[in-house]
Structure 1
Amino acid sequence: MLKRITKTAYTNVRKLCITTTTQQQIQEEIVKQEPMSVQVLKHPDYFNVHNLFTVKDLFDARVHFGHKEGSLDERMIPYIYGSRLGHIIFDLDQTAEYLRKALNIAAHVAYRDGIILFFQRGAQHVHLVEKTAIECGEFAHTRFWRGGIFTNSTKQFGSITRLPDLCIFFNTLNNVLIQHTAIRDSAKMLIATIGIVDSNCNPNLVTYPVPGNDDSTASIELYCKLFKNAILRGKQKRKEHLEQNIY
């Protein structure tokens, strides 16, 4: 009786495995028949952005350093590891996960020939961010944000204007207390946003928040390098697919 049950169980498991394998093969065939742009979108990491950095790279760039405990925004608590000597410390495992998602989105937007706009309000890093935007063929806004650029662009520019498809904020505050107005305007116009959110920031209006230091030169240099590489990877794939006529 025991042998019969064992044999029956083995047969059922074998049938289940065959069925599962068949379903996977059918799914793969369906994916292959779809346009390349759809296949790329369904892939979890088509541009291999996960290998652009490690957690140690984030640590070396001081991404884990937040502001003093007294300035902590309660909405940032889920991203915090703890504190040391009165300063907030970010959980870099979470930061790495959120940053990879943000890089993947940036690469996809670049692959679809979208417009990407970099933002930076700190005077110390303005040149670096503008230089990065030029190197990857995108745009940067590093000066005072005039209200209505997104929400009332037709009147501002005197004609119908194409808005960016993605905004990347290397810091999300105009100063210590006030959030960058363009974040609110982007949310109103349904423009996707990526934002480096420090411990004193509000991540709620940012589509893809990345918890981390937004002040140190080392961290900003790392962010610029990563987003530039992700965008260039997306553009390179687009170029290859257009040349092969499979886009």
Structure 2
Amino acid sequence: MAVVTTKQLLESGVYFGHATRKWNPKMKPYIFTSRNGIHIINLKKTSEEIEKAYQELLNIITSGGKALFLGTKKQIQSAIREEAQRSQQYYVDHRWLGGTLTNFKTILKRIELLHLLHKQEEEGLWKKLPKKEVVQLKRKRDKLEKFLGGIKDMKDLPQAIFVVDPEKESIAVAEARKLGIKVFGIVDTNCDPDLVDYIIPANDDAIRGVKLIIWLMANACVEGTGGVAEKAETFDAKNPLKPQNYNAPNKRPYQDSPRKPSYQNQNQNQI
């Protein structure tokens, strides 16, 4: 039985690519046609690639591996967090810290500090400190929690990383590839598919579509740990269809908000 139906993909608007002038020629095998200056992604290809990604991720988790879900766009942060937690996997839903994978020993030290701060607060040690110092400690803890909360239980590197937008998360993708970690990703028509091991050609601005794919990858992880994957009706109930405004300026169909230029910060500041 297919893990996703064509109807679900259609309703979620995953088939709308970017403007034809912005395309990456390497995405040609996944493009069906163009309409009004917008590339239309081949849903048959999307369905096939989702099946491949699902089965491979299922195999990795069944073999005892772990996955890291990565998506820092504000519109999908909650979906990344909730689905990773549902499937008992790791996640990063805010800015990716350079070296999270390639300099993991340093990141582990920051995670240890986060656990220490939580422990100190729980044991009431902060009550003995001056108010100003407690405020500083809380601020430090909250900052660590924001960036490392989703990986604070990660003792070793994950075996797979699922990325919503490989173009935006290029540093994370480069780190994973350098370490031989399998990269799964939603790849739009303007992206380079060669950067991803398991490509899912889809509109990365269609929020419902992105949530659908995140949900599917989480299902693979749930199934891989011996659980029961959620049914399509559950996803539909959590993500009801909304009427689309096709005349909104600077928007692609099914895009919840105008797309802003993405500039990759080459010098990621550690915390």
Please, what TM-score do these two structures have when normalized by structure 1? 0.70
- 1:12-31 matches, cutoff 5 A: none
The CA distance in 1 between the partners of 2:95 and 2:219, in whole Å, is 27
User: Residue 52 of structure 2 corresponds to which residue in structure 1?
Assistant: 101
Shift of 1:113: 2.1
User: Residue 92 of structure 1 corresponds to which residue in structure 2?
Assistant: 43
User: Residue 207 of structure 1 corresponds to which residue in structure 2?
Assistant: 197
CA contact (8 A) 1:183 1:205 kept: yes
Larger RCO of the pair (alpha carbons < 8 Å, separation 6+): 2
Runs of 4+ in 1 over 6 A off after TM superposition: none
Alignment-mate amino acid for residue 56 of structure 2: I
- 159-168 or 185-194: which moved more? 159-168
CA contact (8 A) 2:41 2:201 kept: yes
User: Residue 166 of structure 2 corresponds to which residue in structure 1?
Assistant: 172
Question: How many residues were matched structurally?
Answer: 185
CA contact (8 A) 1:167 1:193 kept: yes
Structure 1 134/161 Cα, relative in aligned 2: closer, same or farther at 3 Å?
closer
CA contact (8 A) 2:66 2:159 kept: yes
User: Residue 222 of structure 2 corresponds to which residue in structure 1?
Assistant: 232
The CA distance in 1 between the partners of 2:212 and 2:94, in whole Å, is 22
The percentage of aligned residue pairs carrying the same residue is 29
Alignment-mate amino acid for residue 84 of structure 1: R
Rg comparison, structure with higher value: 1
- Alpha carbon RMSD of aligned pairs, Å? 1.9
The CA distance in 2 between the partners of 1:73 and 1:122, in whole Å, is 22
The CA distance in 2 between the partners of 1:103 and 1:113, in whole Å, is 16
User: Residue 55 of structure 1 corresponds to which residue in structure 2?
Assistant: 6
Alignment-mate amino acid for residue 118 of structure 1: F
Q: Encode CA deviations 1:121-159: one digit per residue, 9 max, x unaligned.
A: 211110111011111111111221222221121234349
Structure 1 156/138 Cα, relative in aligned 2: closer, same or farther at 3 Å?
closer
User: Residue 178 of structure 2 corresponds to which residue in structure 1?
Assistant: 188
The CA distance in 1 between the partners of 2:72 and 2:105, in whole Å, is 25
Alignment-mate amino acid for residue 48 of structure 2: E
Alignment-mate amino acid for residue 211 of structure 1: P
Shift of 1:180: 2.2
User: Residue 129 of structure 1 corresponds to which residue in structure 2?
Assistant: 80
Alignment-mate amino acid for residue 64 of structure 2: D
Shift of 1:211: 0.7
Shift of 1:99: 0.8
Please, what TM-score do these two structures have when normalized by structure 2? 0.64
3-state DSSP of counterpart to 1:147: coil
CA contact (8 A) 2:32 2:42 kept: yes
User: Residue 209 of structure 2 corresponds to which residue in structure 1?
Assistant: 219
3-state DSSP of counterpart to 1:186: helix
Q: Encode CA deviations 1:195-232: one digit per residue, 9 max, x unaligned.
A: 00001111112111111111112101211221122211
Question: Where does structure 1 lack aligned partners over 5 or more consecutive residues?
Answer: 1-49, 239-247
In terms of fraction of residues, the more helix-rich structure is 1
User: Residue 114 of structure 1 corresponds to which residue in structure 2?
Assistant: 65
Shift of 1:237: 6.8
Alignment-mate amino acid for residue 223 of structure 2: R
Alignment-mate amino acid for residue 41 of structure 2: F
